[in-house]
Amino acid sequence: MTLRILQVGLGNRGTMWGRIIAHHPRVAFAGIVDPDPARVSAFTQAFGDIPSFSDLGSALKAVEADAVLLVTPPNGHLDQARCAFAAGLPVLAEKPLALDMDEARRIVDLAEATGCRLSVCLNFRFLPVSQEIRRLVADQEFGAPGFGTFNYHRNRDWWRPGMNKYPLTMRYPMMLEQSIHHLDLIRYCYGREVEAVSCRTWNPSWSVYAHDANVSCLLTLEGGLEVNYLGTWTGGWNELKFQWRTDCERGVIVQQELFSDLATARTEDDALTPVRLPPCTPFVDDTRMLLDAFVEGLRGEGPLPCTGRDHLQSLALCLAAIESSETGQRVDVREFTRRHGIRRMS
Ligand SMILES: NC(=O)c1ccc[n+]([C@@H]2O[C@H](COP(=O)([O-])OP(=O)(O)OC[C@H]3O[C@@H](n4cnc5c(N)ncnc54)[C@H](O)[C@@H]3O)[C@@H](O)[C@H]2O)c1
């Protein structure tokens, strides 16, 4: 049976979602929602005549839907989730679920209180390269991981046409829009929680962002695994450079491109050996796999992916890192989650 999705938000990411849903064999559009008529018009021109609305409340009264997809900026997610849960519908929300802990926790609590399922779109978990790093670490192919370095350098010019604009003016755009993916991958691929974080965020003089576009963190994970993270949207060179290296007892695991290019070496090897990965179009195939898992989760055919409760741990990590930067202190992430009323995942 086809899952009828009500898509809320038709901007840059919403258009990617449009392509995924329009070509998906198990889902279809119940309707679309966006207050901007130009966005609605561009979307229907691209994906056909879909019932369209300027607000979610009207859409929920008018169409029959099986799930709501939120592709709106995070500051509207609480109200939108509340409407969807009141209608008894599950929600798949884009990251971050919210910009503060209280709002995110309220969304997750509401989902649980109403018995509605909630997933958050951490699509990079589904990249073949992420799946393979997770497997290599879990199987201890090179022994226990001891430390990692995760570096993401980009000069991202958000003034270009076609880019979303709200990160230009929000607080902590790098941490809450981008690093959240990276810190989530660190939790997911290493299969363990972060115990403590020391962080510094800052904004270089030439940044086009109103607030900090650089993040540097030292993360201590369970089992004594230490990870050094650097992420920037204001690199001095307009060329994306990425490397995630994990040093283990008997070798290294190195991801050399943002979405691909994995290689490994044993300690005594002269050179890295590439790891074969299936082809994948980033943002599309990984998101489609997440959607597949979401549909299976709703149908009871598998576990629900990237649950809201799991996402609280990644968001808490970002917000604990921000607290560390603001106070100049190392923050105990377990204490931070307790203080904000977040249960640890079992
Ligand atoms: N998972 C990923 O890989 C990925 C990639 C890009 C963006 N995102 C996320 O997707 C979300 C949207 O980002 P974007 O780049 O599409 O932003 P955008 O600014 O391009 O689009 C947002 C759209 O939401 C609409 N909107 C705002 N309030 C609304 C409301 N109350 N009801 C209905 N529509 C409303 C706006 O009119 C706009 O069309 C963000 O949370 C962002 O972090 C995720």
Look up the domain containing 36 and give its range.
3-121
Within a domain: 298: no
Same domain for 56 and 129, yes or no, is: no
Same domain for 7 and 65, yes or no, is: yes
Number of compact structural domains in the chain: 2
CA of 231 to the centre of ligand 1 (A): 22
Q: What is the mean pLDDT of the chain?
A: 97
State how far the Cα of 31 lies from the Cα of 192, in Å rounded to an integer: 39
Same domain for 107 and 153, yes or no, is: no
CA of 67 to the centre of ligand 1 (A): 17
pLDDT score, position 346? 52
Same domain for 129 and 242, yes or no, is: yes
Confidence of residue 1 (pLDDT cuts 50, 70, 90): confident
| 273 φ, ψ (degrees, to nearest 5) | -110, 125
Residue of the nearest CA to atom 9 in ligand 1? 94
Type of residue numbered 173: P
pLDDT exceeds cutoff 70 at 72: yes
Residues 179-193: tens digit of each pLDDT = 999 999 999 999 999
pLDDT score, position 315? 98
pLDDT score, position 345? 65
Same domain for 139 and 214, yes or no, is: yes
Same domain for 179 and 323, yes or no, is: yes
Residues 141-197: tens digit of each pLDDT = 999 999 999 999 999 887 777 788 899 999 999 999 999 999 999 999 999 999 999
Same domain for 137 and 113, yes or no, is: no
pLDDT score, position 245? 98
Ligand 1 neighbourhood includes 251 CB (under 6 angstroms): no
Residue of the nearest CA to atom 8 in ligand 1? 13
Residues 315-338: tens digit of each pLDDT = 999 999 999 999 999 999 999 999
Residues 96-120: tens digit of each pLDDT = 999 999 999 999 999 999 999 999 9
CA distances from 75 to 11, 289, 325 (A): 15, 26, 22
pLDDT score, position 157? 80
Same domain for 133 and 52, yes or no, is: no
Same domain for 322 and 224, yes or no, is: yes
Residues 261-287: tens digit of each pLDDT = 999 999 999 999 999 999 999 999 999
Domain stops at, among 78, 94, 121: 121
Same domain for 70 and 193, yes or no, is: no
Confidence of residue 73 (pLDDT cuts 50, 70, 90): very high
Same domain for 159 and 260, yes or no, is: yes
Domain stops at, among 91, 121, 151: 121
Residue of the nearest CA to atom 21 in ligand 1? 11
Within a domain: 216: yes
Confidence of residue 53 (pLDDT cuts 50, 70, 90): very high
State how far the Cα of 219 lies from the Cα of 333, in Å rounded to an integer: 10
Instruction: Provide the CATH number for the domain around residue 69.
Output: 3.40.50.720
Within a domain: 302: no
CA of 9 to the centre of ligand 1 (A): 6
> At what angle are helices 180-190 and 128-138 packed, to 10 degrees?
40
Same domain for 253 and 117, yes or no, is: no
State how far the Cα of 65 lies from the Cα of 44, in Å rounded to an integer: 18
pLDDT exceeds cutoff 80 at 85: yes
Domain stops at, among 94, 121, 148: 121
Within a domain: 187: yes
pLDDT score, position 162? 75
CA of 14 to the centre of ligand 1 (A): 6
pLDDT score, position 228? 98
State how far the Cα of 82 lies from the Cα of 343, in Å rounded to an integer: 21
Average pLDDT over residues 203-209: 96
